[in-house]
Every structure is written in C-alpha cells, then in structure tokens.
Amino acid sequence: QKVSVEVLDHLEHLALVDFRDLEGVERLQKAIQFADQLHEVNTDGVEPMDSVLEDRWCLYLRADDVTEGNCTKDLLENAREKVEEYFVAPPGNIPLLKLEERDTFLQGS
Amino acid sequence: AALKDGLRSQVSAALKEGRVTPTELCQRCLALIKSTKFLNAYITVAEETALKQAEESEERYKRGQPLGILDGIPIAVKDNFNTAGIETTCASNMLKGYISPYNATVVQKLLDQGAVLLGKTNLDEFAMGSGSTDGVFGPVRNPWSYSKQYKEKSVPKSHSEDEESNWVITGGSSGGSAAAVSSFTCFAALGSDTGGSTRNPAAHCGVVGLKPTYGLISRHGLIPLVNSMDVPGILTRCVDDAAVLLGSLAGHDPKDSTTIQDDFKPFELPNLTDVSKLSIGIPKEYHAPGLSSEILALWSKAADLFKNAGAKVVEVSLPHTRYSIVCYHVLCTAEVASNMARFDGLEYGHRSDKKESTESMYAATRREGFNDVVRGRILSGNYFLLKQNYEKYFVKAQKVRRLIVNDFVKVFRSGVDILLTPTTLSDAAPYTEFIQEDNRTRSAQDDILTQAANMAGLPAINVPTALSERGLPVGLQFIGRSFEEKQLLTVAKWFEKQIQFPMIQLEEVKRHDNGVFQHQKSASFS
C-alpha cells in the first residue's frame, strides 16, 4: 500500500524536514517495504530490548553536586542570533503552514 | 623492562632514544597530508596546534618524562568527534563553521597522553553511509587506488582513461580515518562504528579496524547517530597498536552513563603460540548472497589455518542473521529521527534566514542543512515511530534485536570463543560503480556482515588478510564475547602474524621516505 498524502504531510510536520521530490517519497516507500520483512519473524513471548547493557545496570543517579558550569560564553559562541545571554528565536506557537499553503513537493499530490 | 621494550620497538623507542623527534614526525606527516591531498581524507588539518603539541611533547622527551607510549604520536580524528577550538562538521552543511567548545572524552584522553592531533577526517554526512562518498566535502579516495599493486592489475579500458576515473572507494563511513592510516599520514585514527563504519573501511583500506564492546569506551562528544549502538572505533596498522589505543581510551566516564563502571585494566597482547585450546565458530549465515568467491575462499583458508594449527573450528548458526539488517534499518532510522531533532539552528550550526515562526525557521534550516540521505532517514524514522506504527515496527524491531542477541549468546555458551567471518562482500568498488546505487541500498548491502555485532554490542575487529585479484585489500572479521577484548585481540594478533599482509606501495610515501618513515613503514608504533 502506498503512504497517503495525509501521512506524508504529517511526517513533514513532525520531522520538520521535507521530502523534496518524488525520489524522497519513493525512498520512504522502499524503506517501509524493506522493514516489512520484520513481520516474517515470530516474536511471540519475546520482550523488546532497549539496551544490550540491560544486565549491567549502568544508569545511576549521581549526587546533586554542582561540578561544572559558568560556560555561558562558550555556549553562546556558536549561536548565530543572540541578545545578551539569550538565544533569539522567531515567534513560537505558530504552526507550520497547511499543505495547500506551504511550499512543498506534496502540494497537488 | 628490556624485554618489554624489545617487543614494543619502532617509533615509540625511536622517540625515547631521540632517533626521531615529535616535531620531525609531525612535520613529515603534515607534508605527506599535503602531497596526498587528492585522497580527500582530511576535512581540517590543524597544522598550528599540531606543531605546538609536537613541540610540547619534544620538551617532555628532552626531560626524559614522556607521558606514555602515545606521547608525540600523530593521530587523526573522524570529523564527528568534538574537538575544542577545531571545526567539527560531520561533513554536513548543518555544522559547517561549528567550532566545538569542548573535546570529546576520547579526544581529551589522547591529548592528555601527549598525542598530536593532526586533523579531522572526512566521512559520509553524519556517518550515514558505507562509502564515505556522501559528505559535503566530496568523496574520500582509497589510497590503494594509487598503489603499485592496484595499478599493476588494472587494465585501462581505453587509452584516454586514466587513474582519475579508476579510483576505488574507501568504504565507510570512517573512510577518511581509514585512508589516513593506510597512507601513513598518521599512526592511528579514531572512527566511529554503528553498523560497521570502522570495520568496513578498514577492510577496504587494508588496516586494522576495531569496534570495541558497547559500553567500554565513552561516547561523550561523539555526535550521536544511534545511541544504543554507536561506539568510537580504532583504526591502526597493526593489532598491537589497536591494543595500545584501546588501553588509553577504555574505561568508565561519568559524562557517559552508558559506559560500564567496572575498572578497565589496559593490557599488552601476549604472543600466542598455542591455539589448541581455542574454539573458532564459523557462522554459516555469513555466507551471504553476493559474497565474492575470492572472499569465500580466503575465509575458508583462514578457517583451515586455525584448524591446522590445532584449534577447534566448528560451523555454527546465527539463525536471525538475515533479519539483522532489517532490524538495524528500523532501529537506526528511529534513533536518528530523535538524534537529528537537535539541529534547529538556534544554538549552533546552520541557521536559515526565515523569520516567520520557529517551526518555519527550523524546517528551512533543516531543509538547507541536511542532505538527501539524512533527510531520508529522519523521515523513515518518524514513520516507524508514528503511533499507528510504533508497535508494528519499532517495538517489533526491538524484539527481533533480542532474538539476534540471543543467537550470539547461545553460540558463545556452546563453547565457541571467537567467531570468524568475512568483513565485506567484496573488495572496494570503483567510485563510478558505487554511486550507481543509492545510499540506502548500498548500506543495506554493505553492512550485512558487520552490523549484527553492533546489534549485540559485541567487540569485533577487521584484520587485513590478503590482496584480491584486482590488487585491493580484503579483510576478515573476528567477533568476540562482550568485554573480552583481550582474547579477541590476542587471536587477531596471532592471525595477523600468520598471514603477513603486504605493505601498500605508494609513490607519495616513497618520496618522503627517510629514516623517519622507515619507522612508519614498519607498520607500528607500539
């Protein structure tokens, strides 16, 4: 089954990355086809594995001691737009334009 | 003490005895980098800082107080490791101009031991690929393309065709690092390995490529691809050197909570002479479709080598091998989708000029910054993570992962110590041929023999084995038990000694040849 335009549009919204062209969409189709082979494997009763280190429990909470910091200057160094100690962002809470209004390959699909 | 020095001869001893100075070594390497620029192995050459480090090292040798075996040794680092004050690009427009504010832990460890950082090596963009052909700085050329051995075997198709169109790929994604080590511009290099990215180019470039156990070496500062599989990789010209690097890098890092807390004791590799107590497993599923008859024959010969030396060689089965690459594909794209979300242009990296909203700015930044391969993986990953697909694909893949891991556990429990497999399906392809297929297809084909080790977190190493009919290197892979690097490397070293892989005969290196390079050419610094 082909992926619907609604799902493709949804993916562009979620990923904030565009398909660019037909090749991009076909790439996804092929990826899904490839992944479908997983369903040939019987996984009844098998627990999903998050980490190969699950038997050696690495994750621990360290003591709440401040051991580093004061690196504001370093952190701001690589930002293109900043004001005093703030990273400057365009206005938020504005959703990405809808499919019909957006400049995307998916338009008119 | 004298016996120890005898075993670890060559460069390190030469430095200690003053037969060569760190500055000389550094200068020779820098000069060779310049004359091998056509390989495109380096993205950034940190000439000034390298010379400064070399001078400081020289002072320490003069005082008779070198920091250790790595003091003064020129090394290269893949450009997806953060290096303070030096541009780190991941071969992507997204990070062009990004100057790291800190050193990755592994980089810091090398510098703390006096290693000289020559520069950052080229790779596939964000380490996604198996050819080192898909970065914004162009593809890396395999030094063996320019070797006497390859040139002798290649028949030009027409008189107008020259070596310009004939060159072969390095493999990837750590192609720059592999090429750098292979062409003698450094003594060792750091790569990364998520699906085979250190072992694959090691095989194609005729160098040793070690993928350590997941959790042994810190990933802090390694720009992540797949958090549950990434490891820093080690590329050297011989197994002994890989052991030295491992010794200086392994161990718990409080900044990486996925490193195990056990104490790591660096080791020297024994010179194994008796392999009769060893049990070598040959997984039959690694006789994968597309495996060249040449490599199949070499694999067989290697198995016989062990058998004739008295080792127990048994055929074993890892039944889920063929699903490994599918599983990897899903888990990798899912983790990539998550890891790449940090690139939005706000705090670092490329930023688009779009100002209407954060979302439109992020979208435009990512549109401008990422290449097709990266965008493709992000979109696939997001698809597999959609609510309606989560169980069907992501969780399913996690279950299949457990089955793959269990395959290995079963085999190692049955008494097998080490697995012996091919590393790649064939020798290096010519660039013009390689780019006929897209990145995803190539990766799926080329990773097939290497990525199960990443799935299971096991240590694995490529040992250069022989030259193919085309005069190009072919390697074989050893896979060991978790955290049993000493055994793995001991066996690899024994094998390396039996086969005596030929040295690359490069015109460029001959030109710079003098006493100093004799040390380099004798392959090891340890």
Residue B78 among the catalytic residues:
yes
Residue A108: predicted pLDDT: 67
Q: Which residues of chain A neighbour B376 with C-beta distances below 8 Å?
A: 24, 27-28, 31
Taking an 8 Å cut-off on Cβ atoms, the answer to whether A17 and B214 are in contact is no
Please tell me chain A's helix, strand, coil percentages from 3-state DSSP, rounded to the nearest 5. Answer: 35, 5, 65
Tell me: the pLDDT tens digits for B341-358?
999 999 999 999 999 999
Is the pLDDT reported for residue B480 higher than 60? Answer: yes
Averaged pLDDT score across all residues of chain B: 92
**Dihedral (Cα; A11, A17, A18, A20), 10-degree rounding:** -140
Q: Please tell me the CATH superfamily of domain B9-152+168-323+399-520, with its number.
A: Amidase signature (AS) domain (3.90.1300.10)
Tell me: the pLDDT tens digits for B245-265?
999 999 999 999 999 999 899
Higher-confidence residue of B2 and B45: namely B45
Residue B9 among the catalytic residues:
no
Residue of B nearest to A48 (CA): B399
In this structure, of B214-228, B275-289, B322-336, B505-519, the range with the lowest mean pLDDT score is: B505-519
Alpha-helical (H) ranges within B138-272 are 148-153, 163-166, 175-182, 199-205, 239-249
3-class state of residue B467 by DSSP: strand
Structure tokens at A42: 């019987």
**Dihedral (Cα; B282, B285, B286, B292), 10-degree rounding:** 120
Residues 13-72 of A with CB under 8 A from B: 14-20, 23-24, 27-28, 30-32, 34-35, 37-41, 43, 46-53, 56, 58-60, 62, 71
Residue of B nearest to A91 (CA): B357
Distance from CA of A105 to the nearest CA of B (A): 13
Closest CA to A24 of B225, B387, B383: B383
Taking an 8 Å cut-off on Cβ atoms, the answer to whether A48 and B398 are in contact is yes
Residue of A nearest to B363 (CA): A16
Is the pLDDT reported for residue B143 higher than 50? Answer: yes
Q: What phi, psi does B88 have (nearest 5°)?
A: -125, 115
Does A86 contact B at CB distance below 8 Å?
no
Out of B78, B109, B486, B493, which one is annotated catalytic?
B78
Closest CA to B83 of B65, B98, B61: B98
Does A94 contact B at CB distance below 8 Å?
yes
B interface mutation test: which of A3, A21, A23, A41 has the most B CBs within 10 A?
A: A41
Name the pTM for this structure.
0.94
Q: Which residues of chain A neighbour B348 with C-beta distances below 8 Å?
A: 78-79
- What DSSP designation does B284 have? G
Distance from CA of B395 to the nearest CA of A (A): 6
Does A97 contact B at CB distance below 8 Å?
yes
Contact B504, B147 (CB under 8 A): yes
B interface mutation test: which of A10, A16, A102, A103 has the most B CBs within 10 A?
A: A16
In this structure, of B21-30, B181-190, B441-450, B458-467, the range with the lowest mean pLDDT score is: B441-450
Q: Which residues of chain A neighbour B380 with C-beta distances below 8 Å?
A: 27-28, 31-32
Residue B197 among the catalytic residues:
yes
Taking an 8 Å cut-off on Cβ atoms, the answer to whether B393 and A38 are in contact is yes
Give the start-to-end residue ranges of the domains of chain B: 9-152+168-323+399-520
Residue B203: predicted pLDDT: 98
Higher-confidence residue of B516 and B122: namely B122
> Considering all CA atoms of chain B, what is the largest pairwise distance in Å, rounded to the nearest integer?
72
Per-residue pLDDT band at B150 (split at 50, 70, 90): very high
Closest CA to B382 of B343, B329, B337, B342: B337
Residue B511: predicted pLDDT: 60
Distance from CA of A102 to the nearest CA of B (A): 10
Q: State which amino acid sits at residue B497.
A: K
Does A3 contact B at CB distance below 8 Å?
yes
Structure tokens at B459: 């240590």
Residue B3: predicted pLDDT: 25
Residues in chain A: 109
Instruction: Report d(CA B129, CA B439) in Å as an integer.
Output: 6
Average pLDDT score over residue span B433-452: 87
Taking an 8 Å cut-off on Cβ atoms, the answer to whether A28 and B356 are in contact is no
Out of B192, B197, B426, B468, which one is annotated catalytic?
B197
Per-residue pLDDT band at B526 (split at 50, 70, 90): very low
Contact B199, B209 (CB under 8 A): yes
Taking an 8 Å cut-off on Cβ atoms, the answer to whether B215 and A58 are in contact is yes
Residue B162: predicted pLDDT: 58
Taking an 8 Å cut-off on Cβ atoms, the answer to whether A31 and B376 are in contact is yes
Residue B116: predicted pLDDT: 97
Any residues with CB less than 8 A from the CB of B497 and at least 6 apart, and which? none
Residue B231: predicted pLDDT: 98
Burial of B469 (0-12, 13-18, 19+ CB in 10 A): exposed
Out of B92, B100, B145, B173, which one is annotated catalytic?
B173
